[in-house]
Amino acid sequence: MHDMTDNTTSAKTPIRADQLTVVPADEASWDDLTAIFSSGDARRCLCQRFKVEGYIWRDSTQEGRTAMFQAQTSGDASGLVAYVDGEPAGWVAVEPRTAYPKLRTSRIPWSGRNEDKDDDGTWAATCFVVRPDFRGRGLTYHLARATIGFARERGALAVEAYPMITQPGKEITWGELHVGARQIFEDAGFKEVSHPTARRVVMRVDFAQLT
């Protein structure tokens, strides 16, 4: 891992495919993962929001979340890590929907749908983290597309996500957008299947429907 020395020009230049490498989390080093999760709520949460069955800040500790994240990223990969020009730059969590206990009690995935909560053939992309120097360059678009092949290669029948709807001129904090924005999943080929709240949608790719 190298220190970031990004400049103003490259900070907003869209990331090209030839600059990008995406690997399963268990192929990334712990140093690279901690570099991505080095600031803000990501550093504290470590992608455990949907893993902790209770209230994350009350029912877990930083030490416990770190241990959970290390275990999840060193065994069966629970996400993808993006490198830009060899630098660790971003993360997306994607694994079987049943791996997220908190999703079972959230109304967002289930509202208006007849879904089996125990169906491990459906995977879920639940969280993005982008290192500050790489934000605003389209990295989440690349990561959203990568979840499709990753899930399909591992036997998933479908992959879904629970992104936010963004509106021009209306600010949404980075923390709220950890689930992703609707347009990045639209661009990847996900289709909206439900609209459980004013600002959240469920989007999905069913592999049986792909040609």
pLDDT band at 182, cuts 50/70/90? very high
Residue 43, domain member (yes or no): yes
- Per-residue model confidence (pLDDT) at position 1: 34
Residue 145, domain member (yes or no): yes
CATH number, position 189: 3.40.630.30
Residue 8, domain member (yes or no): no
HEC-encoded secondary structure of 45-62 = HCCCCCCCCCCHHHHCCH
Residue 160, domain member (yes or no): yes
User: Are 73 and 79 spatial neighbours (Cβ–Cβ below 8 Å)?
Assistant: yes
User: DSSP string of 35-102?
Assistant: HHT-SHHHHHHTT-TTTSSS-HHHH--HHHHHHHHHHHHHSS--EEEEEETTEEEEEEEEEEGGG-HH
Looking at the chain, the whole-number percentage of residues with pLDDT higher than 70 is 91
Task: Write down the residue that tokens 């609209």 correspond to.
Answer: 195
- Per-residue model confidence (pLDDT) at position 6: 40
DSSP, res 122 = E
User: Are 193 and 203 spatial neighbours (Cβ–Cβ below 8 Å)?
Assistant: yes
The total domain count for the chain is 1
Q: Is 123 helix (H, G, I), strand (E, B) or coil?
A: strand
User: Structure pTM?
Assistant: 0.90
**Averaged pLDDT score across all residues of the chain:** 90
Other CB atoms within a 10 A radius of the CB of residue 139 amount to 24
User: Are 148 and 188 spatial neighbours (Cβ–Cβ below 8 Å)?
Assistant: yes
Residue 109, domain member (yes or no): yes
- The more confidently predicted of residues 106 and 174 is 106
Q: What is the mean pLDDT of residues 65-71?
A: 95
Q: What is the mean pLDDT of residues 176-199?
A: 94
Residue 183, domain member (yes or no): yes
Residue 190, domain member (yes or no): yes
pLDDT in tens, 94-141: 999 999 999 999 999 999 999 999 999 999 999 999 999 999 999 999
- Per-residue model confidence (pLDDT) at position 174: 52
Q: State which residues form the domain around 120.
A: 18-209
pLDDT band at 10, cuts 50/70/90? low
Looking at the chain, the whole-number percentage of residues with pLDDT higher than 90 is 83
Residue 2, domain member (yes or no): no
